[in-house]
């Protein structure tokens, strides 16, 4: 089986600090309708549906089953859910299409971080024996990684501030972004990270449609073909890892074929400035590569959707003819614990 | 648009977790003020110790005791400690490689300020006064000047059986998270109307089904519902059950009847308690109406209206 699979449509919400006037399905539905409208498909035309979300974010048990109302899941459809970023839902959908079981797939993810204390909520994903009882919050763990990079001579605080400034300046062209333009770098949140080194906390959703072969060409003028897709994970002990490097990203990129030819664009899921430094090193990206023209996760980081958005943004650049070969990366867990890399290409112009 | 409803929501989950032999020895050791590591096949010593080699996945059981002193490998200054963190005064998060270990342990370092902390500094364990066999038996680390004693870095770990009297075999991992719950547009509107003793559902623009309570979307069509439709107040019992076990914190005498009720005009049934009739006389097709208590935001229960029972054909699609 050697089917070509492409991203043929992408939509996202405006990402905002709070969406308290909307339930999760109410927040999600407009992007579902938007990707369907881009392709002319109806929900009944979709062969497989896969979503990514986490009930811990909003504290709502089985919220993903309520979100399914938005895709017209009754009578029962072929669907699945991962308690992970939507990039991993896309991975499952991609494998489903590779098997030939379906020709089209709808992938969506959403996260409402506003109802809960996100920094504390994310401690619940940590090792429950040795780490979670200490409640080390997400910023603290990212700060340990940043200090390790500074100690190693890989970066310094001004360089990190420059990553933040570049990301938010680029985000001025992205109407969906939450933090755009000139944003003060602020005080230390957990030193060495300042507020400007950290992603905004907010609510948002995204959706992507995948299609196979000729179906993709029917649905999209310039499909973003997925040339490779792989994900890898590090040892779970933070003190076992070298926090200044990301061998799992490098291996995923190698398996996805990222190093076979240069890419022109990379959408990196680096919620904290220092993580972009780690990823650039792991992926051997040189200055010729446009990194995060969308502004990246420093401009909008709806947890559980921000990784899928990287794939969507990379694909949308190809759809628009602004990119020919792009790398998209998604991460999950503390300090770049688990990493997914996709390589996307457009047909020659 | 009606005001957004919000309410506090606390989620607590005391997970009970069993321990493998290595975790059990490590946590019991902390209770006894002993820090254990585990040897990997290639001779490295992992602290904190794990059950399986992170590189080879080989089962590892070879325990060693390491020193309670070590070196900071990276740190981060936390000027605003959060609830449940190890110290309630500003502290440094640290990864510490204990003397004799090849990997680092995450914990807190009690230091006067960020200027007193640097990578490479020497620290030692400060034990908690009360210890139960948990990572928090280490209260935190504290700075440690061992220049007079010579570097401890060369300390060799010593073999340890991992055996202690009364070993810990499990932990209870308590967690509490505080949320602010908001039900969203459709449910806020429903709850707002209900507080005025009106049942207002929403109609699907495509299949015309009226959802009560509405959740904002039609699960058949995948479309937003928005047209508001007042239904009831009367309805029909479509099916029911008899509850014989008293629920905790619920002041209702058993047995009682809990029923699916199709309100007149609704496209699906909601559920509620039936009162005002002996439990063994409730039947499918019984016509009922809501009973409101003073100041209540929702009906206390439903009672018979006295009308003739509804024909089965009028509610067969609403079971």
B239-250: pLDDT as tens digits = 999 999 988 878
Rounded to the nearest integer, the mean pLDDT of chain A is 96
H or E stretch at B73: strand B69-78
Domain finish residue from B127, B158, B173:
B173
> Per the structure, how many domains does chain B have?
2
Residue A129 domain-assigned? Answer: no
Residue A294 domain-assigned? Answer: yes
Residue B190 domain-assigned? Answer: no
Rounded-to-integer distance, Cα B309 and Cα B294, Å: 29
* Chain A residues touching residue B93 (CB < 8 angstroms): 136, 140-141, 143-144, 190
User: CB B292: neighbour CB atoms within 10 A?
Assistant: 14
B153 and B12 assigned to the same domain: yes
B31 and B117 assigned to the same domain: yes
Q: Does B48 touch chain A (CB under 8 A)?
A: yes
The count of residues in chain A is: 349
Domain finish residue from B157, B173, B189:
B173
Q: Does B41 touch chain A (CB under 8 A)?
A: no
Sign of the CA dihedral with A65 first, then A71, A75, and A79 last: negative
Q: Does B1 touch chain A (CB under 8 A)?
A: yes
**DSSP letter string, B182-207:** ---HHHHHHHHHHHTT-EEEEE-TTT
DSSP letter (8 states) at residue B167? -
- In this prediction, the answer to ipTM > 0.90 reads yes
Of the residues A49, A111, A126, A134, the best mutation for testing chain B's interface (the one with the most B CB atoms within 10 Å of its CB) is: A134
Residue B183 domain-assigned? Answer: no
B74 and B166 assigned to the same domain: yes
Of all residues in chain B, the one with the smallest CA distance to A190 is B78
**pLDDT exceeds 90 at position A75:** no
For B182, the token pair is 């908001």
**Partner-chain contact A129 B27, CB within 8 Å:** yes
CATH code, domain carrying A142: 3.40.47.10
d(CA A319, nearest CA chain B) in Å: 26
Domain finish residue from A219, A251, A286:
A219
Backbone angles phi, psi at A95, to 5 degrees: -65, -35
Domain finish residue from A186, A219, A252:
A219
Counting Cα atoms < 13 Å in the Cβ hemisphere of A294 gives: 30
A43 and A167 assigned to the same domain: no
CATH code, domain carrying B265: 2.40.50
Establish whether the linkage from the previous residue to B151 is cis, with ω within 30° of 0. Answer: no
B26 and B106 assigned to the same domain: yes
A214 and A306 assigned to the same domain: no
Residue B95 domain-assigned? Answer: yes
- CB contact at 8 A, A218 and A292: no
Residue A285 domain-assigned? Answer: yes
Q: Where are the alpha helices (DSSP H) in A157-200?
A: 157-170
Of all residues in chain A, the one with the smallest CA distance to B119 is A151
d(CA A243, nearest CA chain B) in Å: 10
**Partner-chain contact A59 B219, CB within 8 Å:** no
Residue B161: the pLDDT is 95
A181 and A262 assigned to the same domain: yes
Residue B202 domain-assigned? Answer: no
Rounded-to-integer distance, Cα B120 and Cα B128, Å: 24
Q: Scan for tokens 């896309």, then name that residue.
A: A90
Residue B13: the pLDDT is 87
For B256, the token pair is 């009682």
Q: Does B241 touch chain A (CB under 8 A)?
A: no
Of B74, B183, B216, which has the smallest distance from its Cβ to A147's Cβ? B74
Residues linked to residue A16 through DSSP beta bridges, in sequence order: A203
Of the residues B66, B185, B217, the best mutation for testing chain A's interface (the one with the most A CB atoms within 10 Å of its CB) is: B217
Of all residues in chain B, the one with the smallest CA distance to A239 is B104
**Partner-chain contact A191 B185, CB within 8 Å:** no
A191 and A53 assigned to the same domain: no
What residues in chain B have per-residue pLDDT under 50? none
A211 and A193 assigned to the same domain: no
Exposure string for A246-256, b = 16+ CB within 10 A, e = fewer: bebbbbbbbeb
d(CA B138, nearest CA chain A) in Å: 10
The count of residues in chain B is: 319
Q: Does B37 touch chain A (CB under 8 A)?
A: no
User: CB B297: neighbour CB atoms within 10 A?
Assistant: 11
Q: Does B83 touch chain A (CB under 8 A)?
A: yes
B148 alpha-carbon distance from chain centroid: 49
Domain finish residue from A164, A186, A219:
A219
> Per the structure, how many domains does chain A have?
2
Residue A106 domain-assigned? Answer: yes
A190 and A50 assigned to the same domain: no
pTM of the entire predicted model: 0.95
**Partner-chain contact B93 A136, CB within 8 Å:** yes
C-alpha angle A287-A289-A291 in degrees, rounded to nearest 5: 100
Residue A130 domain-assigned? Answer: no
For the residues A171-197, what does the mean pLDDT come to?
Answer: 96
**Partner-chain contact A43 B217, CB within 8 Å:** no
Residue A87: the pLDDT is 98
Sign of the CA dihedral with A165 first, then A166, A170, and A174 last: negative
Counting Cα atoms < 13 Å in the Cβ hemisphere of B91 gives: 20
Rounded-to-integer distance, Cα A199 and Cα A178, Å: 10
**Partner-chain contact A69 B223, CB within 8 Å:** no
**Partner-chain contact B218 A69, CB within 8 Å:** yes
B21 and B143 assigned to the same domain: yes
* Closest of A190, A187, A185, A186 to residue A144, by C-alpha: A190
Residue A308 domain-assigned? Answer: yes
* Closest of A277, A283, A249, A286 to residue A148, by C-alpha: A277
A99 and A81 assigned to the same domain: yes
A209 and A86 assigned to the same domain: yes
Domain finish residue from B137, B152, B173:
B173
B246 and B319 assigned to the same domain: yes
A182 and A237 assigned to the same domain: yes
- CB contact at 8 A, A34 and A11: yes
pLDDT digits (tens, 9 = 90+) for A231-266: 999 998 999 999 999 999 999 999 999 999 999 999
Name the burial class of residue A213, with classes exposed (0-12), middle (13-18) and buried (19+) by CB atoms within 10 angstroms of its CB: middle
d(CA A265, nearest CA chain B) in Å: 32
Residue B71 domain-assigned? Answer: yes
Q: Does B223 touch chain A (CB under 8 A)?
A: yes
* Chain A residues touching residue B136 (CB < 8 angstroms): 133-134
Residue B3: the pLDDT is 73
Q: Does B165 touch chain A (CB under 8 A)?
A: no
Residue B181 domain-assigned? Answer: no
For A335, the token pair is 């300090």
Rounded-to-integer distance, Cα A87 and Cα B139, Å: 39
**Partner-chain contact A129 B215, CB within 8 Å:** no
**Partner-chain contact B180 A20, CB within 8 Å:** yes
Query: What SS3 class is residue A249?
Result: helix
Residue A127 domain-assigned? Answer: no
Q: Which domain holds residue B155?
A: 7-173
**pLDDT exceeds 90 at position A175:** yes
B147 and B271 assigned to the same domain: no
**Partner-chain contact A21 B185, CB within 8 Å:** yes
Residue B26 domain-assigned? Answer: yes
For A211, the token pair is 């299609």
**Partner-chain contact A239 B103, CB within 8 Å:** yes
Residue B1: the pLDDT is 52
Residue B130: the pLDDT is 97
* Chain B residues touching residue A71 (CB < 8 angstroms): 222
Of all residues in chain A, the one with the smallest CA distance to B182 is A20
Residue B2: the pLDDT is 57
**Partner-chain contact B48 A237, CB within 8 Å:** yes
Residue B143 domain-assigned? Answer: yes
**pLDDT exceeds 70 at position A32:** yes
For B57, the token pair is 């996945």
Q: Which domain holds residue A313?
A: 138-198+226-345
Rounded-to-integer distance, Cα B206 and Cα B4, Å: 27
B34 and B160 assigned to the same domain: yes
Sign of the CA dihedral with B45 first, then A333, B82, and B168 last: negative
Name the burial class of residue B14, with classes exposed (0-12), middle (13-18) and buried (19+) by CB atoms within 10 angstroms of its CB: exposed
H or E stretch at B240: strand B235-243
B278 and B129 assigned to the same domain: no
C-alpha angle B187-B189-B191 in degrees, rounded to nearest 5: 65
Of all residues in chain B, the one with the smallest CA distance to A122 is B177
**Partner-chain contact B55 A136, CB within 8 Å:** no
Rounded-to-integer distance, Cα A265 and Cα A170, Å: 13
pLDDT band at A54 (very low <50, low <70, confident <90, very high): very high
A187 and A212 assigned to the same domain: no
For the residues A156-178, what does the mean pLDDT come to?
Answer: 97
A72 and A161 assigned to the same domain: no
**Partner-chain contact B216 A151, CB within 8 Å:** no
User: CB B129: neighbour CB atoms within 10 A?
Assistant: 7
pLDDT band at A334 (very low <50, low <70, confident <90, very high): very high
pLDDT digits (tens, 9 = 90+) for B88-139: 999 999 999 999 999 999 999 999 999 999 999 999 999 999 999 999 999 9
* Closest of B294, B168, B312 to residue B239, by C-alpha: B312
Furthest CA-CA distance within chain A: 58
Residue B232's region, left for phi above 0, alpha for psi from -120 to 50, else beta, is left
Contacts of A292 (CB under 8 A, 6+ apart): A167, A170, A266, A267, A268, A270, A276, A298
Residue B305's region, left for phi above 0, alpha for psi from -120 to 50, else beta, is alpha
A193 and A207 assigned to the same domain: no
Residue A186 domain-assigned? Answer: yes
Of A135, A145, A192, which has the smallest distance from its Cβ to B84's Cβ? A135
Of A70, A75, A114, which has the smallest distance from its Cβ to B217's Cβ? A70
CA torsion, points A283, A118, A311, A336, in degrees to nearest 10? 20
């Amino acid at each position: 089986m050697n089917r070509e699979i492409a991203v043929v449509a992408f939509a996202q919400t405006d990402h905002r600090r709070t969406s308290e006037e909307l339930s999760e399905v109410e927040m999600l539905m407009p992007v579902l309708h938007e990707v369907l409208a881009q392709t002319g498909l109806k929900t009944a035309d979709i062969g497989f549906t896969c979503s990514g979300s986490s009930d811990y974010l909003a504290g709502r048990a089985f919220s993903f089953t309520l979100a399914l109302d938005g895709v017209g899941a009754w009578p029962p459809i072929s669907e699945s859910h991962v308690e992970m970023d939507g990039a991993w839902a896309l991975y499952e959908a991609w494998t489903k299409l590779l098997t030939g079981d379906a020709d089209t797939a709808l992938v969506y993810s959403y996260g409402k971080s506003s109802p809960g204390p996100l920094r504390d909520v994310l401690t619940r994903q940590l090792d429950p024996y040795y780490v979670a009882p200490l409640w080390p919050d997400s910023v603290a763990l990212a700060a340990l990684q940043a200090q390790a990079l500074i100690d190693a001579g890989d970066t310094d605080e001004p360089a990190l501030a420059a990553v933040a400034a570049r990301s938010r300046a680029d985000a001025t062209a992205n109407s969906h972004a939450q933090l755009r333009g000139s944003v003060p770098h602020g005080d230390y949140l957990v030193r060495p990270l300042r507020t400007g080194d950290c992603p905004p906390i907010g609510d948002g959703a995204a959706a992507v449609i995948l299609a196979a072969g000729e179906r993709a060409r029917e649905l999209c003028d310039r499909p973003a073909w997925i040339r490779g897709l792989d994900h890898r994970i590090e040892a779970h002990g933070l003190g076992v890892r070298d926090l200044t490097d990301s061998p799992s990203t490098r291996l995923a990129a190698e398996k996805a074929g990222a190093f076979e030819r240069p890419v022109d664009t990379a959408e990196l899921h680096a919620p904290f400035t220092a993580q972009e430094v780690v990823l650039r090193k792991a992926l051997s990206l040189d200055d010729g590569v446009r990194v995060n023209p969308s502004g990246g996760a420093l401009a909008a980081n709806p947890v559980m959707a921000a990784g899928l958005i990287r794939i969507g943004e990379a694909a949308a650049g190809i759809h628009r003819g602004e990119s020919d070969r792009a790398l998209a990366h998604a991460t999950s867990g503390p300090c770049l614990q688990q990493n997914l890399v996709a390589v996307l290409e457009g047909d020659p112009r | 648009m009606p005001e957004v409803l919000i309410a506090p929501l606390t989620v607590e989950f005391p997970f009970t977790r069993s321990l493998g032999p290595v975790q059990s020895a490590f946590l019991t050791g902390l209770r006894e003020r002993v820090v254990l590591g585990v040897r990997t096949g290639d001779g490295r010593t992992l602290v904190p110790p794990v059950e399986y080699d992170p590189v080879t996945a080989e089962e590892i059981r070879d325990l060693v005791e390491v020193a309670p002193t070590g070196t900071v490998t990276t740190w981060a200054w936390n000027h605003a400690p959060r609830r449940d963190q190890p110290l309630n005064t500003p502290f440094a998060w640290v990864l510490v490689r204990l003397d004799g270990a090849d990997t680092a342990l995450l914990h807190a370092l009690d230091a006067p300020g960020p200027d007193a902390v640097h990578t490479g500094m020497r620290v030692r364990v400060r034990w908690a006064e009360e210890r139960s066999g948990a990572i928090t038996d280490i209260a935190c680390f504290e700075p440690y000047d061992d220049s007079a004693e010579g570097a401890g870095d060369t300390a060799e770990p010593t073999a340890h059986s991992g055996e202690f009297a009364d070993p810990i075999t499990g932990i209870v991992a308590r967690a509490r998270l505080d949320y602010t719950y908001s039900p969203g547009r459709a449910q806020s509107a429903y709850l707002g109307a209900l507080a005025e003793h009106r049942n207002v559902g929403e109609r699907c623009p495509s299949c015309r089904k009226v959802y009560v309570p509405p959740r904002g979307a039609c699960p058949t069509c995948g479309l937003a519902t928005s047209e508001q439709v007042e239904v009831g107040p009367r309805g029909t019992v479509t099916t029911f059950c008899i509850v014989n076990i008293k629920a905790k914190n619920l002041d209702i005498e058993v047995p009682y009847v809990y029923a699916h009720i199709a309100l007149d005009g609704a496209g699906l049934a909601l559920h509620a308690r039936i009162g005002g009739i002996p439990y063994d006389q409730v039947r499918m097709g019984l016509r009922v109406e809501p009973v409101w208590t003073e100041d209540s935001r929702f009906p206390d229960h439903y009672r018979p209206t006295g009308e003739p029972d509804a024909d089965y054909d009028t509610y067969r699609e609403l079971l």
